[in-house]
Amino acid sequence: MALGVVILAAGQGTRMKSALPKVLHQLADRPLLQHVIDTARTLDPARIVVVYGHGGELVRERITDDDLIWAAQAEQLGTGHAVQQAIPYLEGLDQVLVLYGDVPLTRSETLQGLLNEAGSGFGLLTVELDNPSGYGRVERDTEGKVIRIVEQKDASPEQLAIREINTGIMAIPEGRLHEWLGKLENNNAQGEYYLTDVLAMAVDDGMEIAVSQPVDPDEAEGVNNKRQLAGLERAWQRRAADVLMDGGLTLRDPDRFDLRGELTHGRDCVIDVNVIVEGKVTLGEDVNIGANTVLRNVTIGDGVTIRENCVLEDAHIGPDSQVGPFSRLRPGAELVGGAHVGNFVEIKKSTIGLGSKVNHLTYVGDSEIGSGVNIGAGTITCNYDGANKHKTIIGDNAFIGSNTALVAPVTVGTGATIGAGSTIGKDAPADQLTVTRARQTSIPGWTRPVKKQTS
């Protein structure tokens, strides 16, 4: 059975109070619309048609999937009118699934269940809510069969008491959809063409409505304002956390964890609170991630400890290394293994060799550091001359004294020692002590300046 998916994404979203089209607002670091598209794609549809309107060019610019068909809705005249814009692209299909670009949490399994229930007929996804205010009510006859959907503004007091609501998600036979849409009228409180009226037409034609419900009501919840967006963010994050914990990951507090990309992990990994994962992150086995840490496109080997308050981006941390607290690894940073990188250390585009230590108040950029090297506190590689970047090379087992400036391009030989407080602008030979300091001088009779008294 050939399936077409129509995603309605034309609304302005005035209650978001933003210049950004509603469907481009972010949930878990992806636009709301992208979540819906990605879920739709899991159903293996023959076509996905996105109906766009307000801010449409920006929507098309931000959503770059090349398998989409775009249908413009120049005027927002209701959901029925929106689906009409997609009709030219649905010819030859069997079923049409209607989704919404601001409803991001619907599971693939839920939609597949709806399609299975509908078969070649009409399917409707409904939810029962304790407070159904704002939603269209699903009205049933005495036999429990769905007969119509009544929008809230058109509902009687008796109909308003109904707790079963219409999610708007429908599976409709393509062969009948065009016909029913042509019969829509806008004689309602909103003056709009309601897609829900198509359901009543199906009932009048003797078609029984197959009803399906999601596991969680939040699967059908849309975003109309920033509070709802924040609420769905937490719902999405808790769902993601549950999946990770079911896979063996320990989260100290799943309600204080944010996944904004893809995380894979080995056994016995532990993540503390307020950790943010972005891009693609891979953890080996026995990895511990400290609180308030950001991981962005990083690979972390077995036995690594990342202490609190670190930012790691586009970096590789080899096995049995320790990082932090308060460390920053920038793109191109690589710790081969067994390395120690400590507090207030920044590393960029550099390799730190096996067992080397960079523990305090240090900047390392565009460098190759061998194994067994100790970098003293306050050391910096002066890699930028104002126009170009230059490289620093430090051989195995070198010792760099505190407060050293290594002016690249420069090489420190194997086993070399650099005296504290040196500025090294020429290559330092292997196995020797290199020191550059001015002669220490004491000035007799010097007095410290005294603060002037103000009247």
154-206 residue pLDDT tens: 899 999 999 999 999 999 999 999 999 999 998 887 888 989 899 999 999 99
Percent of the chain with pLDDT over 90: 88
Same-domain status, 99 and 205: yes
Question: What is the average per-residue pLDDT within 25-52?
Answer: 97
Domain at 275, CATH number: 2.160.10.10
From CA 23, how far away is CA 222, in angstroms rounded? 10
Question: What is the average per-residue pLDDT within 18-22?
Answer: 92
Taking a C-beta distance cutoff of 8 angstroms, is the pair 178, 87 a contact? Answer: yes
Type of residue at 197: D
Please check whether residue 448 lies inside any domain of the structure.
no
Domain at 196, CATH number: 3.90.550.10
Arithmetic mean of pLDDT over the chain: 95
Extract the tokens encoding 306.
């990342």
Same-domain status, 411 and 425: yes
CA gyration radius, the chain: 31
Question: What is the average per-residue pLDDT within 389-399?
Answer: 97
**What does residue 231 show for φ and ψ, rounded to 5 degrees?**
-65, -40
Same-domain status, 305 and 232: yes
Please check whether residue 445 lies inside any domain of the structure.
no
Same-domain status, 169 and 36: yes
Please report the pLDDT score of residue 137 as a whole number.
94
Question: Given 220, 246, 263, which residue is the final one in a domain?
Answer: 220
Question: What is the average per-residue pLDDT within 422-448?
Answer: 90
Please check whether residue 403 lies inside any domain of the structure.
yes
Same-domain status, 266 and 368: yes
Domain count, the chain: 2
Question: Given 220, 253, 269, which residue is the final one in a domain?
Answer: 220
Taking a C-beta distance cutoff of 8 angstroms, is the pair 407, 389 a contact? Answer: no
Please report the pLDDT score of residue 437 as a whole number.
86
Question: Does position 135 have pLDDT exceeding 80, yes or no?
Answer: yes
Question: Given 184, 200, 220, which residue is the final one in a domain?
Answer: 220
Please check whether residue 136 lies inside any domain of the structure.
yes
Please indicate whether residue 360 is annotated as part of the active site.
Answer: yes
Same-domain status, 236 and 213: no
Expressed in angstroms, the distance from the first to the final Cα of the chain is: 92
Please check whether residue 454 lies inside any domain of the structure.
no
Confidence of residue 13 (pLDDT cuts 50, 70, 90): confident
Same-domain status, 181 and 256: no
Please report the pLDDT score of residue 21 as a whole number.
92
From CA 383, how far away is CA 445, in angstroms rounded? 41
Please report the pLDDT score of residue 12 as a whole number.
78
Please report the pLDDT score of residue 392 as a whole number.
98
Confidence of residue 411 (pLDDT cuts 50, 70, 90): very high
Full domain range(s) for residue 304: 226-434
Catalytic residue among 25, 81, 265, 360: 360
User: 116 CB contacts (<8 Å, ≥6 apart)?
Assistant: none
Extract the tokens encoding 119.
């078969």
Using alpha carbons, select from 173, 208, 203 the residue that is nearest to residue 92: 173
Q: Print the SS3 string covering the chain.
A: CCEEEEEEECCCCHHHCCCCCHHHCEECCEEHHHHHHHHHHCCCCCEEEEEECCCHHHHHHHCCCCCEEEEECCCCCCHHHHHHHHHHHCCCCCEEEEEECCCCCCCHHHHHHHHHHHCCCEEEEEEECCCCCCCCEEEECCCCCEEEEECHHHCCHHHHCCCEEEEEEEEEEHHHHHHHHHCCCCCCCCCCCCCHHHHHHHHHCCCCEEEECCCCHHHHCCCCCHHHHHHHHHHHHHHHHHHHHHCCCEECCHHHEEEEEEEECCCCCEECCCEEEEEEEEECCCCEECCCCEEECCEECCCCEECCCCEEECCEECCCCEECCCEEECCCCEECCCCEEEEEEEEECCEECCCCEEEEEEEEECEEECCCCEECCCCEEECECCCCECCEEECCCCEECCCCEEECCEEECCCCEECCCCEECCCECCCCEECCCCCCCCCCCCCCCCCCCCC
Q: Specify the pTM.
A: 0.89
Please report the pLDDT score of residue 453 as a whole number.
82
Same-domain status, 71 and 90: yes
Same-domain status, 214 and 239: no
Please check whether residue 453 lies inside any domain of the structure.
no
Please report the pLDDT score of residue 76 as a whole number.
85
Same-domain status, 241 and 262: yes
Using alpha carbons, select from 241, 31, 35, 209 the residue that is nearest to residue 123: 209
Please check whether residue 199 lies inside any domain of the structure.
yes
Q: Alpha carbon 228 to chain centroid distance?
A: 17
Least confident span in 74-78, 222-226, 243-247: 74-78
Please give the residue that has the higher pLDDT: either 189 or 420: 420
Same-domain status, 159 and 244: no
Question: Does position 454 have pLDDT exceeding 80, yes or no?
Answer: no
From CA 51, how far away is CA 36, in angstroms rounded? 13
Q: What is the pLDDT of residues 50-106, one digit of tens each?
A: 999 877 889 999 999 989 999 999 888 999 999 999 999 999 999 999 999 999 999
Same-domain status, 64 and 147: yes
Least confident span in 56-60, 112-116, 333-337, 371-375: 56-60
Confidence of residue 455 (pLDDT cuts 50, 70, 90): low
Q: Is 356 exposed, middle or buried (0-12, 13-18, 19+ CB in 10 A)?
A: buried
Please check whether residue 444 lies inside any domain of the structure.
no
